[in-house]
Amino acid sequence: MDLLTPEFGLFFWTLIAFLAVFFILRKFAWKPILNMLGEREKGIADSIAAAERVTKEMGQMQSENEKLMVQAREERSLMLKEAKEIKDRIVNEAKEQAKAEANKIIIDAQQQIQQQKMLALTEVKNEIGNLAVEVAEKILRKNLATADEQNGYMNMLSEDIKLN
């Protein structure tokens, strides 16, 4: 048991050495250690606050980002709708313009056909008139071959002119 219980002198000098080291540490090291621990605690608290602030800002940014995405989708759909309307309007205008051009071409063609028809009819009438004159001339030459027949025909024409 002697080995387990220290002697009083050893205990006394160990206690004095411990108290001396304790007072020296308290006077010179305790405040800097406590200051360092306080600073470290403050730094950790500041880091936690900064992390919470960043997390909050990230949440706000994420909600703003989602709002922007929704707005961008709405703008995109609006732009697509406007583009489709413009395309439909341009197509309809082109169709109407094509119909107008086709109608104009048809009207012009009909007018040309009518003019050609009138020219052909006039030409046919002229030919018929010429043929009638030629036939009448041939008939009159044959019928008015003698002078007596010619005088009788002239008398008939003069009476016809007087009556009209």
Give the model's confidence band at 3: pLDDT under 50 very low, under 70 low, under 90 confident, else very high: low
C-alpha span between 71 and 78 (Å, rounded): 10
Say what the pLDDT of residue 136 is: 78
C-alpha span between 111 and 91 (Å, rounded): 30
- Domain regions of the chain by residue span: 21-163
Tokens of 155: 């008398």
Give the model's confidence band at 130: pLDDT under 50 very low, under 70 low, under 90 confident, else very high: confident
Angle ∠(121,127,132) on CA atoms, nearest 5: 125
From residue 113, how far is each of 83, 97, 98, 102, 124 by CA, in Å?
Answer: 44, 24, 22, 16, 16
Question: Average model confidence (pLDDT) for the chain?
Answer: 88
Mean pLDDT for the stretch of residues 69-79: 95
Give the model's confidence band at 82: pLDDT under 50 very low, under 70 low, under 90 confident, else very high: very high
Torsion angle of alpha carbons 13, 19, 25, 27, nearest 10°? -130
Place of tokens 């007596």: 148
| Helix-strand-coil split of the chain, %, nearest 5 | 95, 0, 5
* pLDDT tens for each residue of 15-25: 999 999 989 98
C-alpha span between 85 and 90 (Å, rounded): 9
Tokens of 129: 């008139």
Helices (H), the chain: 8-24, 31-143, 147-163
Say what the pLDDT of residue 28 is: 87
Residue predicted with more confidence, 102 or 142 = 102
Given a contact cutoff of 8 angstroms between Cβ atoms, the answer to whether 133 and 139 are in contact is no
Say what the pLDDT of residue 60 is: 93
Strand, helix or coil at 2?
Answer: coil
Say what the pLDDT of residue 149 is: 75
Q: Is residue 75 over pLDDT 90?
A: yes
